[in-house]
Amino acid sequence: MHRLFTRRQDTQAAPPDQGPGATIVALPTTAPAPAPGEDPRDALLASWLGLAEVQGRSLSAWDQEVRRVNDMVEGKVVDLAASFRQLSTAARDQSARIEEIVHLAGQVELDGETAQVGDVVAGMSALLVDMVNNIIQLSKQGMSMVYVLDDVVRQVEEVEGAVGEIDEINRQTNFLALNAHIEAARAGVHGATFKVVAEEVRLLSKTTASLAERIRARVGAVASGVRKGHEVLRQIATTDLSPQLLAKERIDKTLAGLMDQNQRFQDVLAETAALSGRTAETISSVVTGMQFQDLSKQRLEAVLDSMAVLRAGLEDLSGRTRQARPALAPALPEGWPDRLFSQVKLTAVRENFARRLLEGSALDEIGALDPTATADDAGGDIELF
Amino acid sequence: MDYRITQGPGLTEAALSGRLTFNDYEKMRLLMRDLGAAPARHVTLRLDGLEFVDSSGIGMLLIVKEEVEQKDKTLDVRGATGQVLRVLTVADLGKVLDLRP
């Protein structure tokens, strides 16, 4: 086992003041002055050996650290990639479902058949237009019928009047026939012919009266029917359908509003579906980008390989130096350990580095590497004796 | 409903006012007779003063148009406002009557 450090009589008396976070208390770090009669080059070689030892242990420690980082990154990247793939799948599923909603939002089921909402609304609008046209036509025809029946009622009244006149004429005719009978009787034999004529006139008058009565009865029935029809038609025509006409206006506005809202709904959903799609693509790009880990692993392994070569070189040269100078003990250049430790901020890394650097060294033998120092998270200082 | 007829060169103008409902059918008949008898070839119905028209009123306006055209005259309808204009618009009577502002 090589000794990392040696104690020399002429080492610096007091430990350097490191300030907050100091890790090194006292080390024989200065290059020793040559002893009387000693070759000055041996002091330099001793320093070089010390530095080589430190470099070798440092390289070993960093090799371990880099591998640990590599493994950690690789593990986390694999986990992240798996999570991102799940996210991408979920985003694609979401996009597909939203597209389905967009498709469904534009359709409606009527009597077992699927129809586009736009077509249904157009159909309803057409029905409303038909309804309005029918109302208008109904109103016009109704009023036309009222005028026609009004005329018919007037005609019927005239006919009834005419029948009344016939009755009057008939009554006078009958009266004249009776008078003629009386005069014929007075005229005796000379009035026989006149009597016959008078009798015929009387019979004619009777027939006419009977006919006029039948006409009156028929006309009366017709007049009664016409008047009833006229009254029913008045009731129909009086019914105001303008509220139904104006309802079309309201329904048209409502349908237009529903169409607008449906379209806005579909537009927003389509944008959301597109966004989900772009999210899925972005996530896929992230997963692809995370392949950087593979490249960085390869580059770090190249660094590790180089470090291994350096370490081997240092060990080889250290070995040959020791062979050439068996009595030579490595001396650590001044300030190197504290400069190395002070660069490492993470407590766990610093502790591991210190352990790798000092285990098996002379400081370790005298208890300088305090294992209890790892429990302190506040400053993270490794307390070295 | 009431109406007033004015004669101008080549034009007979009938201004309606009040509310036009079924009960005005006899007055409308008189109006049709007067418009038919007027010498001018063109008739204008002014509805500025008409506040309300029901569905039978619409029917009567259409009959006025028919009667006027049967006398080889032309007819336009002007000045409809408020409820009257809404009903005429919803019923799409611009296709049948010559509606003007």
Express each pLDDT in B31-55 by its tens digit.
999 999 999 999 999 999 999 999 9
DSSP code, position B39: S
pLDDT at residue A381, as a whole number = 41
Provide the 10 A C-beta neighbour count for residue A155: 14
* pLDDT reading at A380 higher than 80: no
Proportion of chain B above pLDDT 90, given as a percent:
83
- Across A5-34, average pLDDT: 44
Mutate to test the interface with A, among B22, B51, B65 (most CBs of A within 10 A): B22
Quickly tell me which residue has 């208008």 as its tokens: A136
A115: closest CA of chain B, how far (Å): 27
pLDDT score recorded for residue A47 = 82
Locate A189 and state its tokens. 């034999």
Residue A382 has pLDDT above 60, yes or no: no
The beta strand positions in B27-73, using DSSP E, are 42-53
| Inter-chain contacts counted by CB atoms under 8 A, chains A and B | 75
Q: How far is the alpha carbon of B65 from chain A, nearest alpha carbon, in Å?
A: 11
pLDDT recorded at residue A328: 82
- Rg of chain A taking only CA atoms, in angstroms: 63
- The alpha-carbon gap from B85 to the nearest alpha carbon of chain A, in Å, equals 11
- Residues 140-159 (A) with a CB less than 8 A from some CB of B: 140-144, 146-147, 150
Which residues 15-54 of B have a C-beta within 8 angstroms of A? 21-23, 25, 29, 53-54
Lowest mean pLDDT across A86-95, A150-159, A338-347, B77-86: A338-347
Question: Is A147 within 8 Å of B59 when comparing Cβ atoms?
Answer: no
Domain B2-100 fold: Transcription Regulator spoIIAA (3.30.750)
C-alpha–C-alpha distance, residues A302 and A324, integer Å: 33
Mean pLDDT score of chain A, rounded to an integer?
Answer: 80
How many Å lie between the alpha carbon of B5 and the closest alpha carbon of chain A? 22
Q: How confident is the model at residue A19 (pLDDT cuts 50, 70, 90)?
A: very low
pLDDT computed for residue A234 by the predictor: 83
Global pTM reads 0.61
In SS3 terms, chain A reads as CCCCCCCCCCCCCCCCCCCCCCCCCCCCCCCCCCCCCCCHHHHHHHHHHHHHHHHHHHHHHHHHHHHHHHHHHHHHHHHHHHHHHHHHHHHHHHHHHHHHHHHHHCEEEECCEEEEHHHHHHHHHHHHHHHHHHHHHHHHHHHHHHHHHHHHHHHHHHHHHHHHHHHHHHHHHHHHHHHHHHHHHHHHHHHHHHHHHHHHHHHHHHHHHHHHHHHHHHHHHHHHHHHHHHHHHHHHHHCCCHHHHHHHHHHHHHHHHHHHHHHHHHHHHHHHHHHHHHHHHHHHHHHHHCCHHHHHHHHHHHHHHHHHHHHHHHHHHHHHHHHHCCCCCCCCCCCHHHHHHHHCCCHHHHHHHHHHHHCCCHHHHCCCECHHHHHCCCCCCCCEC
Which of A143, A242, A248 is closest, CB to CB, to B63?
A143
CA–CA separation, A370 vs A366, rounded Å? 10
User: Å from A199 to nearest chain B CA?
Assistant: 51
Exposed e or buried b for every residue in A256-273, given b needs 16+ CB within 10 A? eeeeeebeeebeebeebb
Write the single-letter amino acid at A213: E
pLDDT for position A238 = 83
The confidence score (pLDDT) of residue A14 equals 42
Q: What is the predicted pLDDT for the residue at A209? A: 86
Query: Model confidence over A101-128: pLDDT tens digits?
Result: 888 888 888 888 888 888 888 888 898 8
**pLDDT above 60 (res A384):** no
CA–CA dist A269, A258 (Å, integer): 16
Question: B3: pLDDT confidence band, cut at 50, 70 and 90?
Answer: very high
Using an 8 Å CB-CB cutoff, list chain B residues near A241.
Answer: 54-55
- Given a contact cutoff of 8 angstroms between Cβ atoms, the answer to whether A46 and A32 are in contact is yes
What is the ipTM for the molecules in this complex? 0.91
Contact residues on chain B for A136, CB-CB shorter than 8 A: 55, 58-59, 62, 91, 93
In the predicted model, what is the mean pLDDT of residues A13-21? Answer: 44
Residue A266: pLDDT band (50, 70, 90) is: confident
Q: Which of A339, A348, A335, A359 is nearest to A382 (CA)?
A: A348
**Which of A41-45, A131-135, B15-19 is predicted with the least confidence, judged by mean pLDDT?**
A41-45
Judge whether residue A296 has pLDDT over 50: yes
Please report the pLDDT score of residue A374 as a whole number.
40
Residue A237 in contact with partner chain B when CB distance is under 8 A: yes
In terms of DSSP bridges, do strands B42-53 and B99-100 run parallel, antiparallel, or are they unpaired?
Answer: unpaired
What value does the mean pLDDT take over residues A231-260?
A: 86
Q: What is the pLDDT of residue B16?
A: 96
Residue A373, pLDDT score: 42
Is A140 close to B63, i.e. CB distance below 8 A? yes
Element (H, E) at B78: strand B74-78
| Residue-wise pLDDT tens digits, A335-357 | 777 777 777 888 888 888 888 87
